[in-house]
Structure 1
Amino acid sequence: MTEQFDLLVVGGGINGAGIARDAAGRGLSVCLCERDDLAAHTSSASTKLIHGGLRYLEQYEFALVGKALAEREVLLRAAPHIIWPLRFVLPHQSHLRPAWMIRLGLFLYDNLGRGRRTLPGSRRVNLKHHESGPPLRDEFQTGFIYSDAWVQDARLVVLNAMDAMERGATIYTRTRCVSVSRDADGWTAELESAHGGRSTVTAKVLVNATGPWAVQFLDQVARIGHDHALRLVKGSHIVVPRLFEHEHAYIFQQPDRRIVFAIPYEHDFTLIGTTDVEYRSDPSAPHIDDEETHYLCDAANRYFKKTITPADVVWSYSGVRPLLDDEQGNASEVTRDYLLELDQQGALLLNVFGGKLTTYRKLAEEAMDRLAPWLPNASAAWTSKGHPLPGGECQDVDVLQRELQSAHPWLPPSLAWRLVHSYGSRTMRILGQARSLQDLGEHFGGHLYQAEVDYLRAMEWAVDARDILWRRSKLGLRFNPEQVACLTAYLADAPPRHPIHGNQKKCFPAL
């Protein structure tokens, strides 16, 4: 039997999930297919920031920065459980950029964008009298502080897909789009699951949101001529044991005029990144190389008293950014803006090129606004009007944690914090009627219990251990090989539960 939809979205990264959510919320029938896990590639390999992009001001990308800063406010309201404010410290080195240039850039950063601004503005600080100063080498005496936000990037993708599903969308993970064909009325697509089963769907509109594979999709699957080229740039990060105790992040200027972040990560670690390296291999399997690792260690060592070496790296990851090829010589100077191309040679095809995590919602809104004239049943844009992502219904996450621990005093504080900052007001769907840790079922390690694993399989499309340990969470940092094997065995033996539908609009209604 052939399933029929208004929209078929190919690609389960942040742009595909965002478009599926926007379209479903407009009352359209939507199918999204992703050949791997949601956020399996670029969207889970970011620097984990919702930010305007301070360094883009030097490239005169004022419109992009303004758009991103406005989106930062929207996303802070939509997902306060997985996105929260973060203050950045920029130690000053006058031979790299003069103080007046930094002050001007921060003034623009404080004032670009539309609407209300809830985060504190920038200021100059004496590092000798600020908590961020002691970890730095003694020559750094002056710094600048500004605001941006932190995000659990892979969870942002999953929550968009969840919201799309709860608004009626069909989400297929581990399902490859094998072929598509078009006629004047629509598209016919053949989908193949990881188990080899095949099905056919039809759609009025096809959205190519395949990220680094966008051109390959046109060439090999759709077989449509085009004149676009993507520039693939690898960005790598390293994670080391915590280098400082406070909760500020750092932004470090480098001799090559790039910038590198050092960010508090998962309580006990520091995240350092990123690199910008031209990439011409398979986007499915990027890996950090020795040169990148040394570059990031050297970048940190120019600023921190405590030096690090590649031997200190406990984890690293790399992602491939699909950037618009604007023929810039330096990969770090290629625009991070996006292009939406509407192909009307027969049934509608929308190609999504480029983009960044922070502007995904705006990209999705613009995409659906472009398509709306051909979809008369589509309602108006809606995602900017305060509609929260699943779990983000209550704005004060600290209050949620206090309520949770008051009702469940047996929960370790670290576990309560992680649950609330991952699932927000939906934490109770995991805990259910539990009255002790034992009631949560098998303990796999790192305060990961069977109840959470079952929830992730039922509600968030988690299939294997990597989905759970490195995308739905970062508990992989705390798991040993034996614990991974135990979790893997449980996932292989236990039949998955069916997804739970419905909305939860109140904060912990069971409390």
Structure 2
Amino acid sequence: MDKLIYDLLVIGGGINGAGIARDAAGRGLSVLLCEQDDLAAHTSSASTKLIHGGLRYLEHHQFGLVRKALQEREVLLRSAPHIISPLRFVMPHAPELRPVWMIRLGLFLYDHLARRQVLQSAEAIDLTTHICGAVLRPGFQRGFVYSDGWVQDARLVVLNALDAAERGATILTRTAVVAAARENCSWRVTLRTPDNQHQLVFARGVINAAGPWVNRLLGDVLEVTPRHSVRLVKGSHIIVPRLFNHPYAYLFQNPDNRIIFAIPFEDDFTLIGTTDVDFRGDPGKVKIDTAETDYLCRMVNRYFAKEITPADVVATMSGVRPLVKDQATNASAVTRDYTLELDEKGPPLVSIFGGKITTYRKLSEQVVDLIGPRLDNHRPTWTASAPLPGGDIPKADFHAFASGLARQYPWLPAPLLQRYARAYGTRIHVLLDQARSLGDLGECIVPGLYEREARYLVEVEWAQTAEDIVWRRSKLRLHLKPGEETALERWLTAYHAKAKQTPATRRAVQEPAP
């Protein structure tokens, strides 16, 4: 039996792993990505869903990180205008926390540290007349508005993996790396497959993009002693029924020097977060605790006239951030920058410590720049100007694109069309290929999910479970009534049973004529 030999094995299917697989495959390397669970199953689907420079990092003098992130913000807004969109943030002024001059200076720097073409500049507003002031407690008279980006974080991961696959990479989900050792000029790697079997593969180089598991993978599997380490910090969010009826988000300053975001979410909800709590448990079993919920409610209640309680929470999200361990005593002050560690005691190994979702593309580029020449690959960078799947929208004008779709698919209900457009961009034409009516989309499995989309998510986007579909690939779970999700579980059980009887390879995406 011939050896399965790859140029590069990427361990970890979060945003960094998927981004690296995409970049490397696009430079002609043969790539295998292994993820022990679903794509974006952990940290990368539990972010605050912002593509941002990190306004608060300016207070910690992390100007280089902010500038790098602001530069990437512009790149990403152009590369995926369907899943990434501009968002305006309102910061009510609390005089006891920060003086006006400090906020003005911070926003000036935020606007000018990097070239800005897509987003509006910051400005001062009068909250007594501005629409955003109506839901605030009396007393907030001055405020500031600035711009950042909003992202469907889990879909960002999936689209990077999809682009990698379409450029030749092999993506294996629910596949764990259980053993690895250097053997002559390559890594000898044992995988545990979804059916609990072991499979042997070889790779000329390895990328450790395991996020919160980066150190554990180094010590227990790769048997390498790292020079760096990560500090695990839990970030949690709560989701409550919509607290305001306008398109702005809020940034709230708080007495502990932290900030809290309140962001419009899935039309009917508000996303509130995040916390920063040191974490020492299993990153795969992280969840919000009572103290975090109470903290988030208490902090936003300092600003909103209508108070919320833990009883109002309809869903939560928690993830573990693998931050580079530094000298900061406060978890919120730990740097969000990243460090790359190269081990060349044999076939190369690159491990990633830290990072944030906004800088994933730059990180991926630097990783491939680092390991590529060691694999005799010297191809140039390419991702800065390449749209992600579905992101090739003319002039990156999503609203014009969506208007055109409404004319092309008049039979689609407006909310469903909008969701498809946001989730799939120009790939909506793949999803709706030859469909002329709702009936052509097949069975409505649960409200808002038709069989056509469910099959696409399984066959093209690696979805396997109801959780994958109604939480990571979409947020339909928020709109379902108790018990409705079981219909999707039954459909998936029948689908997988049929697939076992008639095995088929993963369907390749073919672009039909729009």
Given the two structures, how large is their TM-score scaled by the length of structure 2?
0.96
CA deviations on 1:78-135 (whole Å, 9 max, x unpaired) are 100000000000000111011100000000000112x453211101110112111101
CA deviation after TM superposition for structure 1 residue 184, in Å: 4.3
Return the alpha-carbon distance in structure 2 between the equivalents of residues 426 and 498 of structure 1.
20
Distance 2:506 2:249 in 1: 38
Task: Give the match's secondary structure for 2:128.
Answer: helix
- For 1:306, what is the secondary structure of its paired residue? coil
Shift of 1:239: 0.3
Shift of 1:225: 1.9
Structure 2 residue aligned with 1:453: 454
Paired residues of 1:28 and 1:378 also in contact (CA < 8 A):
no
Looking at structure 2, the residues matched to 413 and 31 of structure 1 have their Cα atoms a distance apart, in angstroms, of: 39
1:509 aligns with 2:513: yes
SS at match of 1:335: coil
Find the counterpart in structure 2 of residue 416 from structure 1. Answer: 417
Partner of 1:319: 319
Q: Distance in 2 between matches of 1:409 and 1:421?
A: 17
Q: Deviations over 1:222-241 (max 9, x none)?
A: 11122432110000000000
Q: Partners of 1:407 and 1:346 in 2: how far apart?
A: 56
Q: Which amino acid aligns with 1:312?
A: D
Q: Does 1:499 align with 2:506?
A: yes
Q: 2:387 aligns to what? A: 388
Q: Is 1:402 matched up with 2:430?
A: no
CA apart distance, 1:138: 1.3
Counterpart of 2:239 in structure 1 is: 239
Deviates more, 1:73-82 or 1:219-228: 219-228
The residue that corresponds to 1:15 in the other structure is 16
Contact kept? 2:229, 2:353, Cα under 8 Å: no
Separation (CA, whole Å) in 2 of partners of 1:369 and 1:229: 22
After TM superposition, list the pairs within 5 Å mapping 1:100-111 onto structure 2: 100-111=101-112
Q: Which residue of 1 aligns with 2:471?
A: 470
Q: In 1, distance between residues paired with 2:513 and 2:439?
A: 23
Q: Does 1:40 align with 2:46?
A: no
Q: Secondary structure at 2:163's aligned position in 1?
A: helix
- 1:47 is displaced (CA, Å) by 0.2
1:433 positional shift: 1.7
Deviation at 1:392, TM superposition (A): 0.4
Superposed, which structure 2 residues align to 1:268-347 within 5 Å?
268-347=268-347
TM-superposed CA distance for 1:503, in Å, is: 6.0
Matched residue, 1:57: 58
What are the Cα deviations for residues 241-267 of structure 1, in whole angstroms up to 9, with x where unaligned? 000000000000011010000000000
**Deviation digits for residues 450-477 of structure 1 (CA, Å, limit 9, x no counterpart):** 1000000011000000000110000010
Is the 1:218–1:224 contact (alpha carbons within 8 Å) kept by the matching residues of 2? yes
Q: Name which of structure 1's ranges 46-55 and 186-195 shifts more when overlaid on structure 2.
A: 186-195
In the other structure, the counterpart of 1:189 is 189
One-letter amino acid matched to 1:5: Y
Residue matched to 2:208? 208
Distance 2:269 2:116 in 1: 33
- Residue 240 of structure 2 aligns with an amino acid whose one-letter code is V
Amino acid at match of 1:393: D
Aligned-partner Cα distance in 1 for 2:306–2:447 = 28
1:96 corresponds to which residue?
Answer: 97
The CA distance in 2 between the partners of 1:434 and 1:345, in whole Å, is 55
Q: TM-score, normalised by structure 1?
A: 0.97
Counterpart code for 2:229: A
* Preserved contact between residue 250 and residue 261 of structure 1 (Cα < 8 Å): yes
Task: Measure, in 2, the Cα distance between the counterparts of 1:499 and 1:460.
Answer: 9
Secondary structure at 2:53 match in 1? coil
SS at match of 1:128: coil
CA distance in 2, matches of 1:327, 1:313: 35
Aligned partner of 1:487 in structure 2 is 488
| Unaligned residue ranges in structure 1 (runs of 5+) | none
Aligned length: 505
Deviation at 1:197, TM superposition (A): 2.3
User: Alignment identity in percent?
Assistant: 57
How far did residue 481 of structure 1 move?
3.6
Report Cα offsets for 1:181-221 as digits up to 9, x if no partner. 11341111111112112211111111000000000001111
Superposed displacement of residue 327, structure 1: 2.5
CA distance in 2, matches of 1:188, 1:435: 51
Q: Deviations over 1:312-331 (max 9, x none)?
A: 00000100000111021100
The one-letter amino acid paired with 2:513 is P
1:430 Cα deviation from its structure 2 partner: 1.5
Q: Hey, what's the Cα distance between the residues in 2 that align with 1:53 and 1:406?
A: 39
Could you say what secondary structure the match of 1:473 adopts? Answer: coil
- Secondary structure of the structure 2 residue equivalent to 1:96: coil
Shift of 1:434: 1.9
User: More deviation in 143-152 or 403-412?
Assistant: 403-412
Q: Distance in 2 between matches of 1:140 and 1:187?
A: 60
CA distance in 2 between counterparts of 1:455 and 1:222 reads 36
Q: Deviations over 1:286-333 (max 9, x none)?
A: 111111001000111100011100000000010000011102110000
CA positional deviation for 1:378 = 3.9
Q: Which residue of 1 aligns with 2:168?
A: 168
DSSP-derived class of the 1:487 partner: helix
Shift of 1:401: 2.0
Question: How far apart in 1 are the matches of 2:428 and 2:152?
Answer: 16
Deviations 1:429-448 (A, max 9, x none): 12222222122111122311
Q: Is the 8 A contact 1:59 1:333 kept in 2?
A: yes
The farther-off stretch of 270-279 and 176-185 is: 176-185
Give yes or no for the alignment of 1:264 onto 2:264: yes
**Which contiguous aligned blocks of 4+ residues in structure 1 show a shift greater than 4 angstroms?**
none
Q: Which amino acid aligns with 2:7?
A: D
Q: In 1, distance between residues paired with 2:265 and 2:258?
A: 22
